[in-house]
Structure 1
Amino acid sequence: MAADDIARLAEALSATHVGDGELSYKGRGLKLDTVQSVEELVREIEQYQGLRALRLEGNTFGVEAAQAVARALENKDQLQRCHWSDMFTGRLRSEIPTALRSLGNALTTAGARLMELDLSDNAFGPDGVKGIEQLLKSSSCHSLRELRLNNCGMGIGGGKILAEALTECHRQSSALGTPLRLRVFVAGRNRLENEGAAALAQAFQLIGSLEELHLPQNGINYVGITALASAMQQNPDLRLLNLNDNTFTKRGALAMAQALKHLRNVEVINFGDCLVRSEGAIALSAVMREGLPVLKELNLSYGEVTEAAALVVAQAVMDKPHMEKVDLNGNCLGDNGCDTLREVMENMDKADMLASLSDDEGEPDEEEDEENDGDVDEEDAEEEEGFQNVVDCIDSRPAKSQSSLRQLQPHVASFLSCPTAEKLLQLGENSASLKQQVDGADPDRAADVLLKISSVYSEDPETKAAVLQTIDAALKTLFSGSALQSYCFLSAMLVMMGLLKGEGKVKRVELVSVQLVCLEHAVQQDYFTQDLALLLHTLLSRNSKAPESCYSAKESLLAALEKRCGAEN
């Protein structure tokens, strides 16, 4: 060790005792390779009575140096907090697991009961996780409350090893009557992807005590997000959820919205740069309408959210007494949309909580929308099946698969395959079977069925009565569910009608005025609440894409919605 390093260490040691049982070498920039290089440091550890926290971050330890420090820790049974981030800079990746294993074994030998372990910013990869595997499984981690492994390059393999270790720790601690109660888990920038995230989700579901979960920038898409959403439902004390810079898309956003319905203590939601898109933002708005009573911060930035959906979000935060910040920057509002959003927030006396909109991407490209018209291709069909699997998982209800459609009564199946007024009238009392096809657990299918029913509307008294009665019966049942189901259904229907930008290629219907006429009838019924009327009015009034042949029907529908919304005031 260089003489100047020894001098710096000696000088630093005089200021290492910072109270509360903490010994700190934080940020000294020391390169510690040999046993000799850490002699003074080891002596300080050995002589510190009642050591409860050790800060080694910001230095770099070789294997020999780490082993020497480990020997000094073997009798420190009161140690609770290990701040060991960024302590292997410049080391070979093969060295780090050996160093970590030595330190971990020392803690186990000492019988320490850790509360916090921070190994962030150590690029140790899956092998590094193996280096702490035995420590995490040991009784020294039965008391662990905070585990921080940010930016460690764990990858899928490391995520699986970590999940197995936490699961084993919980199993052993539970057998002793003191189950692991992990509260804070941080593992951003680790390339966990779906498999790693899903493995950890199983551990989180078992542990059930998380208060903070930070998993930003991990390459997780809707499959992993759905697994995490399911796990979060089993963690009722969750306060902070940070999944920034992963890829939700619609399915992941709906799964997470479903999970948030069950959580009452969430204060911070960070879904920025996650592609929640418009339908996802609307679904999250529904959850805010009926839950999340202590929410303080919501980040939906850079998510391809359009103006109409952003306004729905703004309306949803109106009655949140603890709300402090809403971030919708980097979306697709356009200049007019940004101005409208600011105006809406200002009218609600909440302008100060709206984050900057300086990076807005502008309104969506209409040519892109046109490219998305038409039938879904094979890839989209697979995605739709995946979405249904998501719904099944989060809602615990059976899906209406293609096999179940084949089991429908022939007349019902015939109507759905090629709807006509004659076929609807032939159903008679069997028209109740159509209502059963409108299930809030599958908003896309519900929207498709109702649009098919409304497409056969006419002023013929018998046909008119049959269509409206069937629609009323179906919507009364559908809207008796949660706000989330209702919001998702309405947004799905507008996407199919081409009146709201959806995600990817969408199976759209040919919009005809009678569908809007039927919707006008529906909004005037008791089952169509004022909240839903406000939602539909917001979405429709911000969109002018209806065909010219439907212009009059759309204006009439908007007038009915304005009247219904006005009845609230």
Structure 2
Amino acid sequence: MSNASMSNFSFASMAAQLNEEQGISFQDKSETWNNAEDVKAVVEALNKQSTVHYLNLDGNTLGVEAAKAIGQALHKHPEFRKALWKNLFTRRLKDEIPLALEHLGAGLIAAGAKLTVLDLSDNALGPNGMTGLEKFLRSPVCYSLQELYLNNCGLGPEGGRMLSIALIDLHKNAKEAGTPLQLRVFVAGRNRLENAGAKALSKTFKVLQTLEEITIPQNSIYHVGVAALASSFKQNPHLRILNMNDNTLGVRGAAKIAEVFEHTPLLREINFGDCLLKTDGAYHFAEALEQNHEQLELLDLGFNDINYDGGLVLVTAVQHKPKLRVFNLDGNCFGQHGSEQIVAQMAKCKNAAALQSLDEVVSEEEGEENGADNDDNVTPDNSDDDEASDDQDDDDDQDDDEEYDPNDTTEEVDEDDDEAYVTTNAYTTKLFNDSNCNKAPNNFDMTIKNGNKSPAEACTPEKFCLSQRPCTLQQFDSLEANNKLEAFHNIINLFSEDNHLLLLIFTTLKCGHLAQTSPAALELAISLYQATFDYAIKTEQESRVLDYYLIQLGLLRSEERFKSEYNLKSCRYALREAIKKESFANDNIKNTFKTFLDQLDV
């Protein structure tokens, strides 16, 4: 090796040594430190070692006097930057914890340290513990804070509010000092934050705008709190990890989170497993994630009461994500046949290996028994007006003086009425997709989007089938076709798979809409009901189509409340006439329809 090479090598080694972290670890020693004598080994290590970048005390239990001794030893270490103090107060009284935290924080404040990582996870802080942390969090020591870990700290709504205020003050103080806060990682799972705590933290996230990871699973947050958080997530465009596993989004919460994805194109990990998204929530997510998000590596939507339709739509949404390595849909309501179809569909994708095993899927019927079809199967939320909460704007000062309501934890239950319960527009928009309609002429896409907006304009079979809204009797009578049934089938047959099926269903409903006022429309509705179930039986989708019709006709409660534009009484009338036909479907389908229809007469 030449002298020049040796020289370069030496300088490189020195640079590596300067950047290498040096610290002290007493991790998992299971020590009980009550006083200065008990913690003598830690203090000696701090006094002996000239450079201490981190101190790991994880897995021990620290008392007040012992914390004071460690704090004093920390005075000598302005280079200190990582406080790894998780699981440090086991069996300690609640009045000991804030005092111990004050002593540790005071030591770093006196040293003039510049902290980058603070980990206090797995400590029973609660609001009481936060009183010992607030001053420290506002101090210059935390102006450089990049990662904050408060997982499983029992903060509760009040502790969440206290944390929020402290971090907002920290941001203000750091900015005024000319060293803007650059917090990147925020972890606060298993803290029972509930809606009130979530709303408080949403204000903090709006102020920070630098977060790359937000991990807040298992916090009993419902759609009201989710809506507040969603508005704040949008203000953090550099988000790479978003984890709200095991909170209760429901369909409304899912819709709010789906809006976030447009504003966070750098997302690599998305975890909303066990969030009760339901099928409609899956549609919202799929539609939002299909475009862009090419950096996505993990998508966890397991255990969400998503049925087969939602699973397929999600597969379509992720098929062009080249970096996807984990795609979890396990524990949803696909049934055996649906699971096989999803696996088969995913197998066609280049990222097929990302799909995790579907070992714990349940049938759609089991999902319904467990409340999978009811977005309101939660305890009432008495804290806020839902509409006002869902429509929160980005005003950072909104509700600043709002008091914590201990009942603010759950969703409001809707009152029953005669409204239909249908899937959201995201479903039909997603399935009417050009990729499955290779035979369709180019102008079909515009017809789908615009529908039939001019009542006076003559209606064509194409417009009738592809419009998303029912037609008037005048439009029906003006149809430019000698054989309307044949004309409808000519349009529908241009589409395949789910698009074909949806066109059959909605063309049937459009005819059923007019069945009580037009014998011709009634005859067409009967024929189309028959054609739909012929197709369903042929493709082994009887249960799926049966349930979908029951939902569209307002006979079976679905995930999201929606006022149908169709005359449901007229559509049901056509169905009653259809099931009288001997050739209609099979006895199981007939009897099921008859059971639901008879309930209306009771």
Instruction: For 1:30 and 1:370, locate their aligned partners in 2 and report how far apart those are by CA, in whole Å.
Output: 48
Between the aligned partners of 1:455 and 1:162, the Cα distance in structure 2 is: 58
Q: Aligned residue for 1:429? A: none
Change (3 A) 1:368 1:313: same
Amino acid at match of 1:297: L
> What is the CA–CA distance in structure 1 between the aligned matches of 2:265 and 2:385, rounded to whole Å?
31
1:390 aligns with 2:390: yes
Equivalent position SS for 2:251: helix
Post-superposition CA distance 1:32-86 (Å, at most 9, x none) = 1111112232121122212111111111111111111111112211100000001
* Change in 2 beyond 3 A, CA 1:107/1:381: closer
| 2:275 alignment partner in structure 1 | 274
Equivalences for residues 290-329 of structure 1 within 5 A: 290-329=291-330
1:441-480 mapped onto 2 (5 Å cutoff): 453-454=470-471, 456=473, 458-461=475-478
CA separation of 1:435/1:234 partners in 2, compared to 1, >3 Å: closer, same or farther? farther
Please tell me whether the aligned partners of residues 205 and 235 of structure 1 are also in contact (alpha carbons under 8 angstroms): yes
- DSSP 3-state at the match of 1:254: helix
Q: Mark the CA change 1:387 to 1:268 in structure 2 (over 3 Å): closer, same or farther.
A: farther
Residues 1:209 and 2:210 are matched in the alignment: yes
Residue identity matched to 1:354: L
Q: Deviations over 1:447-494 (max 9, x none)?
A: xxx876436565322999xxxxxxxxxxxxxxxxxxxxxxxxxxxx99
Q: 1:341 to 1:172 in 2, by over 3 A?
A: same
The CA distance in 2 between the partners of 1:47 and 1:507, in whole Å, is: 73
Report what 1:7 is aligned to.
none
Please say if residues 77 and 110 of structure 1, whose CA atoms lie closer than 8 Å, have aligned partners that are also in contact: yes
- Counterpart amino acid of 2:476? E
Offset, 1:224:
1.0
Partners of 1:159 and 1:199 within 8 A in 2: yes
Residues 56 and 87, structure 1, Cα contact 8 Å, conserved in 2: yes
* Identical residues among aligned pairs (%): 37
Indicate the SS of the match to 1:140.
helix
Distance change (3 Å), C-alpha of 1:463 and 1:171? farther
Letter in 2 for 1:95: E
Distance 1:135 1:394, change over 3 A: closer
Hey, which of these two has a bigger chunk of helix by percent?
1
1:17-166 counterparts in 2 under 5 A? 20-166=21-167
Rg comparison, structure with higher value: 2
Name which of 490, 502, 510 aligns with 2:558: 502
Q: Using a 3 Å threshold, how does the CA distance of structure 1 residues 157 and 456 change in structure 2: closer, same or farther?
A: farther
Distance in 1 (CA, whole Å) between partners of 2:476 and 2:381 is 36
How far did residue 20 of structure 1 move? 2.1
Contact 2:276 2:303 in 1 (8 A): yes
| Contact 2:373/2:557, CA 8 A, preserved across alignment | no
> 1:504 Cα shift?
5.8
Task: Report the alpha carbon displacement of residue 173 of structure 1 after superposing the two structures with TM.
Answer: 0.8
Distance across 2 between alignment mates of 1:338 and 1:155: 39
Task: Name 2:227's counterpart in structure 1.
Answer: 226
What is aligned with 2:238? 237
Q: Note the alpha carbon deviations across 1:523-547, whole angstroms, 9 max, x for none.
A: xxxxxxxxxxxxxxxxxxxxx9x98
What's the CA shift string for 1:366-398, capped at 9, x where partnerless? Answer: 98699989xx99x99999983585257489xxx
Q: 1:301 to 1:370 in 2, by over 3 A?
A: closer
Cα distance between partner residues in 1 of 2:570 and 2:369: 25
- State the Cα distance separating 1:197 from its structure 2 match: 1.0
C-alpha distance in 2 between matches for 1:458 and 1:168? 63
Report the residue type matching 2:67 in the other structure.
Answer: A
Contact 2:63 2:100 in 1 (8 A): yes
What CA deviation, in whole Å up to 9, does each residue of 1:153-205 have, x standing for no partner? 01011000000000000011111222111101111000000110111111011
**Are 2:388 and 1:332 aligned?**
no
Mark the CA change 1:549 to 1:302 in structure 2 (over 3 Å): closer, same or farther. Answer: farther
Q: 1:185 to 1:391 in 2, by over 3 A?
A: same
- Please state how far the C-alpha of 1:337 moved relative to its aligned partner: 0.5
> What TM-score results when the alignment is normalised by the length of structure 1?
0.68
1:135, distance to aligned residue in structure 2 (A): 0.6
Q: For residues 416-455 of structure 1, what are the structure 2 equivalents within 5 Å?
A: 453-454=470-471
- Distance change >3 Å, CA 383–CA 299, structure 1 → 2: farther
Q: Report the number of matched residues.
A: 427
Change (3 A) 1:367 1:252: closer
Residues 435, 263 of structure 1: alpha-carbon distance in 2 compared, 3 angstrom cutoff:
farther
C-alpha deviation, 1:263, in angstroms? 1.0
Alpha-carbon spacing, 1:143–1:382, altered in 2? closer, same or farther (3 Å): closer
Aligned residues of 2:272 and 2:300 also touching (Cα < 8 A):
yes
| Cα pair 2:308 2:335 within 8 Å, conserved | yes
Q: Counterpart in 2 of 1:9? A: none
Q: Distance in 2 between matches of 1:382 and 1:435?
A: 41
Using the alignment, how far apart are the partners of 2:303 and 2:52 within structure 1? 45
Q: Give the letter aligned to residue 471 of structure 2.
A: S
- In structure 1, the gaps of 5 or more residues are 1-18, 396-431, 437-449, 465-492, 516-543, 555-569
- Shift of the 24–308 alpha-carbon distance from structure 1 to 2, 3 Å rule, reads same
Letter aligned with residue 503 of structure 1:
E
Cα distance between partner residues in 1 of 2:472 and 2:384: 23
Task: Tell me, in whole angstroms, the C-alpha distance in 1 between the residues paired with 2:252 and 2:187.
Answer: 24
Residues 73 and 276 of structure 1, relative CA distance in 2, 3 Å threshold: same
Are the aligned partners of 1:219 and 1:246 in contact in 2 as well (CA < 8 Å)?
yes
What is the one-letter code of the residue matched to 2:65?
A: E
Distance 1:383 1:280, change over 3 A: farther
> Can you give the 5+ residue segments of structure 2 that lack an aligned partner in the other structure?
1-19, 396-449, 455-466, 482-547, 586-602
CA distance in 1, matches of 2:54, 2:205: 26
**Structure 2 residue aligned with 1:444:** none
Change (3 A) 1:366 1:193: closer
CA spacing shift, 1:310–1:106, aligned 2, 3 Å:
same
CA distance in 2, matches of 1:95, 1:260: 43
1:216: how far off?
Answer: 0.4
Question: Do 2:305 and 2:367's aligned partners in 1 also have CA atoms closer than 8 Å?
Answer: no
Task: Describe the superposition over 1:193-221 as per-residue Cα deviations: whole angstroms up to 9, x where unpaired.
Answer: 01101111110111001111110000000
Residue 93 of structure 1: SS of its match in structure 2? Answer: coil
Q: Aligned partner of 1:64: which letter? A: E
Which whole-Å CA distance do the structure 2 matches of 1:370 and 1:160 have between them?
Answer: 33
In 1, Cα distance between equivalents of 2:325 and 2:237: 22
CA distance in 2, matches of 1:368, 1:359: 16
Preserved contact between residue 327 and residue 355 of structure 1 (Cα < 8 Å): yes
After superposition, the Cα gap between the structure-2 partners of 1:68 and 1:388, relative to the gap in structure 1 and judged at 3 Å, is closer
RMSD over equivalenced CA pairs, Å: 4.0
Cα 1:46–1:394, aligned 2, differ >3 Å: closer, same or farther? Answer: closer
Q: Residue 256 of structure 1 aligns with which residue? A: 257
Contact 1:216/1:242 (8 A) holds in 2: yes
Do 1:369 and 1:501's aligned partners in 2 also have CA atoms closer than 8 Å? Answer: no
Assess, with a 3 A threshold, how the Cα gap between structure 1 residues 144 and 271 changes in structure 2: closer, same or farther.
Answer: same
- TM-score, normalised to structure 2's length? 0.64
